Amino acid sequence: MHLSPDQVIFWQWGWVKLNLTIVTTWVLMALITGLSCLATRGLGRTVREDGAVSHWRSAVEWVISLVLQQIVEVGLPRSEKYLVFIGTLFVLVATASLCTVLPGYEPPTGSLSTTTALALCVFFAVPYFGIREQGMWRYLRNYLQPAPIMLPFNIVSELSRTLALAVRLFGNMMSGGMILGILLMVTPLFFPVALKLLGLLTGMVQAYIFSILATVYIAAAVGSHETEKAVITKG
Amino acid sequence: MLIDWFTVLAQVINFLVLIALLKHFLYRPVLNAIAAREQRIAQELLAAKNAVITAQTELAQLTQERQALQRQRETMLSTTQATALAEQNRVLAQAHEAAQRIQDDSRLAMQAEFQQMSDLIVQRVCSEVLDLARRVVSDLAQDDLQSHMISVFLGHLRQMDTVQRVPFDRLNASTPWSAHSALPLSTEQQQILMTGVKAVFPLVTTLTFEVVPSLLCGMELLADGYKLTWNAEDYLAQIRQNLLTLPPWSESVSAPVGENP
């Protein structure tokens, strides 16, 4: 039994290696891309002659609209600009969690490398969007708020929340897999199924939390620290 | 070590690739579709709003037209009522005039008819009275009556005024005189009459006697177209004249008819 799918290595050449995490991620990418193609294929034809919209198109638009609405509610009014990043985060983590129902599947989010990669993406996306919206100096000036003495604390906060993002997701996904493996050895039938369902719920919640936290960080960088505080207090 | 930095780098790249793929295959088509649908909905809402504005404008215009039509209707109605009232008055006036004319014509016709009837009645009465008198006189005709008539006639001659005498006084002796009577006179009666006439008109030399039945009861003395007469028919003519000149005949009958409502 291994803690991380990184330990399952299919091919290695020097420090370059092809492990289960990468392969599973590729498979998930292919799956998500394929489903996206299916979802948007013939999107123009899904409008009937009477002007009504088909159910499939309505479902796709409903999911996208839901993500957009969540982004807006967090504090990013122009949600289309952040949909690609935040939506992809949510779709990847959610798909990785949903696929845990497949036997023998190990989610790539159960790898600290993957969650670290995603957290790093968020870490770099926050200043990217912040600088794009506010400009370099105005964004950097936020680190001196409310007083210049707060600069090291703000930097530590940025690093710690990135670390928290990575460890939180990794911990939840890895623990779910570990507990499931242990229970399969102890009680092979009922509890693993119940825990599988619970794992699905936990996975979806983690996907939502990861995405919403990323949104909050971006909103805080784009807007003001007040938005971040308000959302965190509310959460 | 739980973190493999090559895997971290690979996952970052994978994530960025996935972002590019989803942006191309999922978000852009869906967002475009949503935008197109929202644009279509916005256009339909705008069209509906314009339709509502158009409908409201047309409604206001129709309301104004209806009000104008209502006013026009009221104007036409009042005009028509005034025209009808005037026409009614005119027709009533014409009817009253025609009725009055017919009434007058009827009254005149009735008066003429009554006049004709009265004339006819008078004529009939006179004729009947005359026939009756004639029959009575014929039945009672005797020598005494003839003598009495001669006596009465001679009495009238003697009492004749000067004006009546003037035409006869201018006649000469050769003028033939004739005496008419209803019944034949006896010789004695002729002699008496001749004597009486010569007493009044001394120039009378010849006097012929003729019987004229239409005289009824009386006598005539004629000379050169002039005539002196006493006849019961003169009395009847006087009666007739009096009857014909009676005003109450026509007025008493026509008065009730002439009452107007």
Condensed to tens digits (0 to 9), the pLDDT of residues A23-39 reads: 999 999 999 999 888 87
* C-alpha closest to that of A23 among A89, A107, A122: A107
Query: How far, in Å, CA of B158 to CA of A175, rounded?
Result: 187
Determine which of B1, B4, B41 to mutate to test the interface with A (most A C-beta atoms within 10 Å): B4
Q: How close A194 comes to chain B (CA, Å)?
A: 28
Residue A3 · residue B2 · CB < 8 Å: yes
Q: Which residue has the higher pLDDT, A17 or A179?
A: A17
- If you search the block for the tokens 């069209």, which residue do you land on? B47
Q: Which pLDDT band, with edges at 50, 70 and 90, does A226 fall under?
A: very low
Q: In sequence order, what are the residues at sequence separation of 6 or more whose Cβ sits closer than 8 angstroms to the Cβ of residue B198?
A: B204
- If you search the block for the tokens 């990184």, which residue do you land on? A6
Quick one: pLDDT at residue B238?
78
8 Å CB contact of A29 and B18 = yes
The residue type at B159: Q
Rg (CA), chain B: 64
For residue B3, the chain A residues in CB contact (below 8 A) are 112-113, 116
8 Å CB contact of B26 and A112 = no
B15: Cα separation from own chain's centroid: 119
Instruction: Output the six-digit token pair for B139.
Output: 């039945």
Q: What is the pTM of this model?
A: 0.57
Query: How far, in Å, CA of B222 to CA of B255, rounded?
Result: 47
How many structural domains is chain A composed of?
1
pLDDT greater than 70 at residue A47: no
Determine which of A27, A67, A84, A210 to mutate to test the interface with B (most B C-beta atoms within 10 Å): A84
Residue B22 · residue A91 · CB < 8 Å: yes
Residue of B5, B10, B33 with shortest CB distance to A43: B33
pLDDT greater than 50 at residue A118: yes
Quick one: pLDDT at residue A1?
56
8 Å CB contact of A118 and B2 = no
> Cis omega before residue A192 (within 30°)?
no
Residue numbers of the domain that contains A215? 5-234
* C-alpha closest to that of B225 among B181, B159, B177: B177
Residue A116 · residue B8 · CB < 8 Å: yes
Q: How close B80 comes to chain A (CA, Å)?
A: 56
Q: Which pLDDT band, with edges at 50, 70 and 90, does A54 fall under?
A: low
Q: What percent of the residues of chain A are helix, what percent strand, and what percent coil, each to the nearest 5?
A: 80, 5, 15
DSSP B25: I
Quick one: pLDDT at residue A229?
41
8 Å CB contact of A121 and B12 = yes
**Average pLDDT per consecutive 10 residues, chain B (261 residues; last block may be shorter):** 84 94 90 85 93 95 95 94 94 93 89 83 76 72 76 86 82 86 84 87 85 78 86 73 62 45 38
Q: What is the pLDDT of residues A65-116, one digit of tens each?
A: 889 999 999 888 888 889 999 999 999 999 998 888 888 888 888 888 998 8
Q: How close A148 comes to chain B (CA, Å)?
A: 33
8 Å CB contact of A116 and B29 = no
Q: Quickly count helices (H) and strands (E) in chain A.
A: 8, 2
Residue of A3, A19, A88 with shortest CB distance to B22: A88
pLDDT greater than 60 at residue A46: no
Q: How close B50 comes to chain A (CA, Å)?
A: 20
Query: How far, in Å, CA of A176 to CA of B238, rounded?
Result: 163
Q: What is the ipTM of this complex?
A: 0.86
A81: Cα separation from own chain's centroid: 17
* C-alpha closest to that of A57 among A68, A71, A41, A46: A46
Q: How close A113 comes to chain B (CA, Å)?
A: 5
The residue type at B179: A
For residue B12, the chain A residues in CB contact (below 8 A) are 117, 120-121
Q: How close A158 comes to chain B (CA, Å)?
A: 19
Residue of B nearest to A80 (CA): B31
Residue of B3, B7, B9 with shortest CB distance to A19: B7
Query: How far, in Å, CA of B17 to CA of B10, rounded?
Result: 10
A 84-113 → B contacts, CB under 8 A: 84-85, 87-88, 91-92, 108, 111-113
Query: How far, in Å, CA of B223 to CA of B8, rounded?
Result: 184
SS3 labels along A90-147: HHHHHHHHHHHHCCCCCCHHHCHHHHHHHHHHHHHHHHHHHHHHHCHHHHHHHHHCCC
Q: How close A94 comes to chain B (CA, Å)?
A: 14
- If you search the block for the tokens 């009756």, which residue do you land on? B132
B181 SS3 class:
strand
Instruction: Output the six-digit token pair for A181.
Output: 């493996």
8 Å CB contact of B3 and A108 = no
Quick one: pLDDT at residue B13?
95
Query: How far, in Å, CA of A154 to CA of A142, rounded?
Result: 9
- Average pLDDT taken over every residue of chain A: 81
Q: What is the pLDDT of residues A164-185, one digit of tens each?
A: 877 887 787 777 777 777 777 7
Query: How far, in Å, CA of A33 to CA of A29, rounded?
Result: 6
Residue of B nearest to A120 (CA): B12
Quick one: pLDDT at residue B254?
47
Q: How close B12 comes to chain A (CA, Å)?
A: 5
For residue A88, the chain B residues in CB contact (below 8 A) are 15, 18-19, 22
Residue A17 · residue A9 · CB < 8 Å: yes
Residue of B14, B16, B26 with shortest CB distance to A26: B14
Residue of B nearest to A26 (CA): B14
Instruction: Output the six-digit token pair for A7.
Output: 């330990």
Q: What is the pLDDT of residues A130-168, one digit of tens each?
A: 888 888 888 888 888 788 888 888 888 888 888 887 788
Determine which of B12, B23, B30 to mutate to test the interface with A (most A C-beta atoms within 10 Å): B30
From residue A27, how far is each of A128, A169, B222 by CA, in Å? Answer: 29, 20, 174
Containing H/E element for B235?
Answer: helix B232-244
